[in-house]
Amino acid sequence: MAVVDEDGADRYVDLWTGALHYAEAMRRSGVGRGDVVLAQLPNWREFVTLAVAAETAGVVLAFCPVHWGLRETAGALALIRPRLWFTTLATEGEVDRTELVRRALDGVSSPLRAVLIRSREAPAGTTPFHDWLASTERPSVDTAVEGAAGLAPLEIAVTSGSAGEPKSVVHVHDTALAAVDSTIRRQRIVPGDVIHVAVSVCHTFGYFYGVRCALQAGAAMVLQERFRPRRMLELIDAHDITISLGPSAFVLELLRGAATYRRGLTRLRFFTHGGDTLPASVMRRAVEQLPFRISRVFGMTEFGHVTATDETTPLEQCIDSVGSPQAEMELRILDSDGTPLGSGREGRLHARGPFLFAGYLAEDRVDEDVVDDDGFFDTGDLGFIGADGFLRITGRARHVIRRGAETVPVALLENLIAGHPSVQHAVVVGAPDSRFGLGEVPIACAQLHAGASLTLPEIEELLAQHGVTRRFWPVGLRVFDEWPLGPTGKLDRAALLQRVTEPDSARRET
């Protein structure tokens, strides 16, 4: 078996002949080598077939989250100008997207054909997927293909940039293959493995380390449209799943139900935790209470995973680090003046190696000016590499909270607060200082264990015990039953800050 979703399953021969059929339909639609098609789909088998089809035809596959609204979707279409847009009018638990699709098409200036998958209706200007495919005959399984390779563009990951505008990251065949093959070797992924993918396949995490990892290893994948722990257990039991992956929100959900879920999770060999970080205290509980190995990674859309823990990593490094560098990649830490720093010293993290993307798509060209003179890419993350060679992430440069002339140690506060017995997970955000106008003030946001309570004085007592400067203490506490999450399941800090700063937002406040 190659790929399973909630609607059915495809063997590798089905996947291959289906991909040849899609490729021929693209050719009949006027899509040729080097042209771009956009996939904006849930975790469905059609995405996997489309990805293989594009690769066999030398077509560039672009993708963006299906949960995006009109502004972001229209921005992606305007930026990448695809020849075909594969999407759907409805997803599990989501509102109807008919109006979004119609308005997005109205705003497009270049020729574009929208192909609607698993959609009952087809508004004006769109084509039902089965009608689009029915215009061509299914080729034979031994049909010759002339796909691209090497430095030819393979895929464009369209993400939401920090400035609020879509950012298009271009990978070529060599960079994608190198990044994924490295993980397959290090984590010993074999054809007998079955990979559970509940992370969006229209994001690099799900595409590289779910879809491509399974395909490049000759393994199988089981797609879950939306992460639900109980459904994950059912899928593990039905399909003998051995590997899963996801952000902190997935780990926290499994941890909250560890007593219930533990037995059903024993078949997993490992779970790749990436996309964001968890405090060491929370990770320790996860390692102790969940019955599978957690492979912690650090990665970005621009280069995939550059560090990881594996089966040889000592326990403490699995808990307090995001792993050691992949063999092919090189990391260095620089201070604000660009001077390299030694082990244990915090600075900005830079990466270099064969996983690095080709550049950002900008208008009619790819902006390749993305590395420094030595070939290093500035990740924008803060961290340090210990004497043991393992990377610790201490924050994100843009997440720094400035209180007057001082920098609040966000990662330290989050780690200490998360260590409180009542706390499941903690995040500290910076809200405008309306009282003194001294930049920002830290606000503690916490998700608690069932039946637990927490007050701001308790946090202050905890920080005092650890000798944290009083000026850095949070001035407020907000307790959340659920975190606001982005399309990939990562914590959405911007949405969290908005909830904190808007008095009428839904929250429990202490």
Q: Is residue 153 in some structural domain? A: no
Question: Model pTM?
Answer: 0.84
Using pLDDT thresholds of 50, 70 and 90, give the confidence band for residue 276: confident
- Over residues 465-472, mean pLDDT: 83
Question: CB atoms < 10 A from the CB of 461, how many?
Answer: 11
Contact 301, 204 (CB under 8 A): yes
User: Can you give the residue range of the structural domain that contains 62?
Assistant: 3-148
Contact 1, 222 (CB under 8 A): no
Helices (DSSP H) in 348-485: which residue ranges? 410-418, 456-465
pLDDT at 94: 65
Model confidence over 56-115: pLDDT tens digits? 999 999 999 998 888 889 989 999 999 999 999 988 776 789 999 999 999 888 889 999
Contact 478, 506 (CB under 8 A): no
Using pLDDT thresholds of 50, 70 and 90, give the confidence band for residue 431: confident
Instruction: Give the CATH number of the domain where residue 447 resides.
Output: 3.30.300.30
Question: Cα separations (Å) of 69 from 39, 419, 498?
Answer: 15, 37, 18
Instruction: Give the CATH number of the domain where residue 54 resides.
Output: 3.40.50.980
Distance separating alpha carbons of residues 184 and 180, to the nearest angstrom: 6
Distance separating alpha carbons of residues 76 and 166, to the nearest angstrom: 6
How many domains is the chain built from? 3
DSSP code per residue over 68-85 = --HHHHHHHHHHH--SEE
According to DSSP, the β-strands at 304-308 and 324-325 are: antiparallel
Same-domain status, 360 and 469: no
φ, ψ for residue 211, nearest 5 deg: -65, -60
Q: Is residue 256 in some structural domain? A: yes
Same-domain status, 263 and 377: yes
Q: Is residue 160 in some structural domain? A: no
Using pLDDT thresholds of 50, 70 and 90, give the confidence band for residue 401: confident
Q: Is residue 216 in some structural domain? A: yes
- Over residues 115-130, mean pLDDT: 92
Same-domain status, 358 and 388: yes
Of 368, 397, 426, the last residue of a domain is 397
Same-domain status, 344 and 434: no
Same-domain status, 202 and 224: yes
pLDDT at 468: 83
Same-domain status, 269 and 360: yes
Model confidence over 362-374: pLDDT tens digits? 877 788 788 999 9
Asked if residue 509 has pLDDT above 60, the reply is no
316 Cβ neighbours under 8 A, 6+ residues apart: none
Percentage of residues in the chain with pLDDT exceeding 90? 69
Instruction: Give the CATH number of the domain where residue 328 resides.
Output: 3.40.50.12780
Cα 67 from chain centroid? 14
According to DSSP, the β-strands at 270-273 and 243-246 are: parallel
Q: Is residue 121 in some structural domain? A: yes
Helices (DSSP H) in 380-476: which residue ranges? 410-418, 456-465
User: In one letter, which amino acid is 91?
Assistant: T
Let me know how many helices (H) and strands (E) the chain has, helices first: 16, 28
Same-domain status, 120 and 194: no
Same-domain status, 140 and 231: no
Q: Compute the C-alpha angle 277/446/439, nearest 5°.
A: 85
Same-domain status, 464 and 364: no
Q: Is residue 294 in some structural domain? A: yes
> Residue 50 corresponds to which tokens in the numbers above?
């489309």
Using pLDDT thresholds of 50, 70 and 90, give the confidence band for residue 438: low
Of 103, 133, 148, the last residue of a domain is 148
Asked if residue 510 has pLDDT above 50, the reply is no
Distance separating alpha carbons of residues 180 and 504, to the nearest angstrom: 45
Same-domain status, 15 and 138: yes
pLDDT at 367: 81
Of 362, 397, 432, the last residue of a domain is 397
CA dihedral 152, 178, 379, 276 (to 10 degrees): 120
Average pLDDT of the chain is: 90
Distance separating alpha carbons of residues 462 and 419, to the nearest angstrom: 9
DSSP code per residue over 251-273 = HHHHHHTHHHHGGGGTT-SEEEE
Same-domain status, 274 and 324: yes
Q: Is residue 80 in some structural domain? A: yes
User: In one letter, which amino acid is 70?
Assistant: L
Same-domain status, 389 and 417: no
Q: Is residue 166 in some structural domain? A: no
